[in-house]
């Protein structure tokens, strides 16, 4: 009988591989989510596919997870100071819509993209605007404990008081790494000091504003993640994920303020997982002039969302990936081969965990061997390229019994999340039946349709047209009838 491999993950805190041993019965996992003022692009979505891969590996190991992804619906300044513009409010001015409308619209768009990429839904998607009172309470404690100082532009965290500041980013000296990115702030003691509460300047009146002991204004960006994660996962939890850019600043500041708040001398979160960048290279997609390509650009060009997921999984999450037309073409071709080869094997059994996969293949040594390879790959810091290779090997392995092959394919896909159990080759022909939509996709579309109906009721034709255009990009045909709008897939 094969032995199980320990799940080993690369921890950004300390930059080393470590066994992942859950501290609690249910593993708390927090992923820094989108700021909902614009369409998420392909690079943004890599972070959520990565978090999903981690979740699937935990499920494979029978480790229960409680996953939280925040929605930043109060804009944060570009450079983490009081000087940058609030992205949400800039977007609102540009599109002449209310800030909350914009946030609701782009939250829906984000969730539609997540569903299209077969990302398991989080248990909660907390909105920052719903936690401002708790952020104020959190900050009051930091003030009481002497971690802050006030300037006319806001309340700042005093990083000089934290000898461990910057450990995650491995900053050598004060602010060395990120200082170049930070703007000058009048009176700030150190370049690394960051804003906890942005106070309105005289004459400035934000659309989203709250009263606080430090004046009317809005919370600093880092604050929301500390407050919402502790509120929903407890003061200490196991896993925090995000893009590698967060490792250098946002997560550094989350740690500083959280450990100052807790004051128990313990690390706030033990494991920090960061996913590398997606490089767009020279081949920008023409459709998105002025911006990075989105998932909708890919589907419009005839690629299936799962081709993008497959492209991502073909590289390791800690490697930079070059997104090129050739690469996405190759992924779509591989997907087509996999789907065509697997279709006659259906129905596939549900095999979400290693234990179940082993049970189903007890008398098939070839299947056991392949499962061992898959488990070793998943356990070695989420080696998705090797899981994909094992899946391809299984499809060529003559020694497998038909049921063994089914179990191995289902097991590999439980980790990869390509939806192979229900994937119809016709899906790749850009035509999908309504029954192919997941419940989450369906719900997200219903929400977009409802938002459009609301916009029409408010005679906000520009917004209604924009939602219609987005639905159109998603391949949804909308017809207005006397009974209300009816939609179908093209
Ligand atoms: Zn965050």
pLDDT per residue over 316-363, tens digit each?
Answer: 999 999 999 899 999 999 999 999 999 999 999 999 999 999 999 999
Q: What is the pLDDT along the chain (490 residues), one digit of tens a residue?
A: 567 899 999 999 999 999 999 999 999 999 999 989 889 999 999 999 999 999 999 999 999 999 999 999 986 544 343 445 666 666 666 555 677 888 899 999 999 999 999 999 999 999 999 999 999 999 999 999 999 999 999 999 999 999 999 888 887 655 455 544 566 788 899 888 999 999 988 887 777 889 999 999 999 989 999 999 999 999 999 999 999 989 988 999 999 999 999 999 999 999 999 999 998 865 443 334 457 889 998 988 889 999 999 999 999 999 999 999 899 999 999 999 999 999 999 999 999 999 999 999 999 999 999 999 999 999 999 999 999 999 999 999 999 999 999 999 999 999 999 999 988 888 887 544 455 677 778 888 888 899 998 988 888 888 888 888 888 877 787 878 777 887 877 7
* Bridge partners, residue 210, by sequence: 217
Query: What confidence tens digit (pLDDT) does each residue in 120-133 have?
Result: 999 999 999 999 99
What single DSSP character describes residue 242? E
Its pTM stands at 0.84
Ligand 1 centre to CA of 251 (Å) is 7
Ligand 1 centre to CA of 96 (Å) is 28
Ligand 1 centre to CA of 225 (Å) is 5
Residue 213 and residue 136 in contact, taking contact as beta carbons nearer than 8 Å: yes
Ligand 1 centre to CA of 403 (Å) is 44
Residue 432 and residue 374 in contact, taking contact as beta carbons nearer than 8 Å: no
Give the C-alpha separation, 37 to 35, whole Å.
Answer: 6
**Dihedral (CA of 131, 135, 141, 145) sign:** positive
Q: How far apart are the first and last CA of the chain?
A: 50
Give the C-alpha separation, 488 to 239, whole Å.
Answer: 40
Give the C-alpha separation, 220 to 405, whole Å.
Answer: 52
Ligand 1 centre to CA of 77 (Å) is 14
Is residue 328 packed enough to be buried (19+ CB in 10 Å), middle (13-18) or exposed (0-12)? buried
Angle, alpha carbons 311-314-59 (nearest 5°): 105
Ligand 1 centre to CA of 191 (Å) is 20
What single DSSP character describes residue 317? T
State the DSSP H helix or E strand holding residue 298, giving kind and residue range, or none if neither. Answer: helix 295-300
Ligand 1 centre to CA of 274 (Å) is 12
Ligand 1 centre to CA of 478 (Å) is 36
Residue 308 and residue 331 in contact, taking contact as beta carbons nearer than 8 Å: yes
Ligand 1 centre to CA of 414 (Å) is 27
Ligand 1 centre to CA of 231 (Å) is 14
* Bridge partners, residue 66, by sequence: 28
Ligand 1 centre to CA of 216 (Å) is 23
Give the C-alpha separation, 461 to 467, whole Å.
Answer: 10
| Helix, strand or coil, per DSSP, at residue 148 | strand
Residue 283 and residue 292 in contact, taking contact as beta carbons nearer than 8 Å: no
Ligand 1 centre to CA of 10 (Å) is 19
Is residue 266 packed enough to be buried (19+ CB in 10 Å), middle (13-18) or exposed (0-12)? exposed
Instruction: Give me the sheet containing 237-243, strands edge to edge.
Output: 65-69, 27-31, 237-243, 269-275
- Across 208-302, where does the E strand assignment appear? 217-219, 237-243, 269-275, 278-279
Comparing C-alpha atoms, which of 128, 112, 133 is closest to residue 48? 112
Longest dimension (CA), the chain: 76
Distances (CA, A) of 211 to 136, 150, 175, 225, 470: 9, 16, 31, 20, 36
The 10 Å Cβ neighbour count of residue 18 is: 16
- The two beta strands, 237-243 and 217-219, are unpaired
Q: Give Rg (Cα) of the chain.
A: 24
Ligand 1 centre to CA of 71 (Å) is 10
- CA 460 to chain centroid, in Å, comes to 31
Distances (CA, A) of 189 to 139, 163, 181: 19, 15, 16
Residue 62 and residue 351 in contact, taking contact as beta carbons nearer than 8 Å: no
Ligand 1 centre to CA of 247 (Å) is 10
Give the C-alpha separation, 73 to 100, whole Å.
Answer: 8
């Amino acid at each position: 009988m094969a032995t199980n491999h320990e799940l080993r993950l690369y921890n950004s805190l300390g930059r080393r591989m470590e066994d992942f041993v859950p501290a609690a019965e249910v593993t708390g996992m927090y992923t820094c989510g989108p700021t909902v003022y614009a369409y998420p692009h392909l690079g943004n979505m890599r972070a959520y596919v990565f978090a999903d891969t981690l979740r699937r590996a935990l499920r494979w190991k029978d480790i229960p997870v409680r996953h939280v992804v925040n929605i930043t619906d109060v804009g944060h300044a570009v450079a983490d100071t009081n000087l940058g513009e609030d992205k949400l409010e800039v977007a609102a001015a540009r599109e002449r819509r209310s800030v909350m409308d914009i946030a609701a619209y782009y939250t829906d768009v984000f969730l539609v993209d997540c569903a299209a990429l077969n990302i398991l839904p989080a248990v909660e998607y907390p909105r920052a605007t719903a936690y401002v009172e708790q952020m104020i309470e959190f900050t009051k404690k930091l003030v009481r404990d002497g971690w802050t100082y006030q300037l006319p532009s806001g309340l700042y965290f005093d990083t000089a008081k934290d000898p461990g500041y910057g450990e995650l980013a491995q900053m050598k000296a004060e602010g060395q790494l990120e200082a170049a990115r930070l703007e000058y702030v009048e009176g700030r003691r150190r370049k690394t000091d960051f804003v906890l509460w942005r106070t309105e300047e005289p004459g400035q009146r934000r659309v989203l504003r709250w009263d606080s002991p430090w004046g009317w204004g809005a919370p600093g960006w880092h604050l929301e993640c500390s407050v919402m994660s502790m509120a929903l996962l407890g003061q200490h939890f196991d896993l925090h994920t995000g893009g590698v850019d967060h490792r250098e600043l946002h997560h550094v500041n989350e740690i500083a303020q959280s450990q100052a708040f807790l004051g128990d001398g313990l690390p706030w979160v033990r494991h920090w997982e960061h996913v590398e960048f997606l490089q767009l290279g020279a081949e920008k997609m023409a459709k998105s002039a002025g911006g990075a390509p989105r998932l909708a650009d890919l589907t419009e060009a005839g690629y299936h969302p799962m081709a993008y997921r497959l492209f991502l999984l073909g590289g390791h999450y800690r490697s930079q990936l070059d997104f090129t037309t050739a690469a996405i073409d190759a992924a779509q071709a591989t997907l087509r081969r996999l789907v065509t080869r697997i279709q006659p094997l259906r129905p596939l059994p549900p095999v979400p965990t290693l234990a179940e996969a082993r049970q189903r293949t007890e008398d098939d040594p070839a299947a056991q061997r392949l499962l061992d390879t898959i488990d070793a790959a998943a356990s070695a810091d989420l080696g998705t390229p090797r899981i994909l290779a094992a899946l391809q090997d299984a499809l060529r392995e003559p020694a497998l019994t038909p049921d063994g092959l089914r179990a191995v394919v289902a097991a590999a896909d439980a980790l990869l999340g390509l939806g192979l159990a229900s994937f119809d080759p016709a899906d790749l022909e850009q035509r999908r039946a309504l029954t192919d939509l997941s419940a989450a996709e369906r719900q997200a579309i219903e929400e977009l349709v409802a938002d459009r109906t609301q916009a029409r009721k408010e005679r906000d034709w520009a917004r209604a047209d924009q939602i219609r255009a987005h639905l159109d990009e998603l391949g949804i045909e909308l017809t207005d009838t006397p009974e209300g709008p009816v939609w179908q897939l093209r």
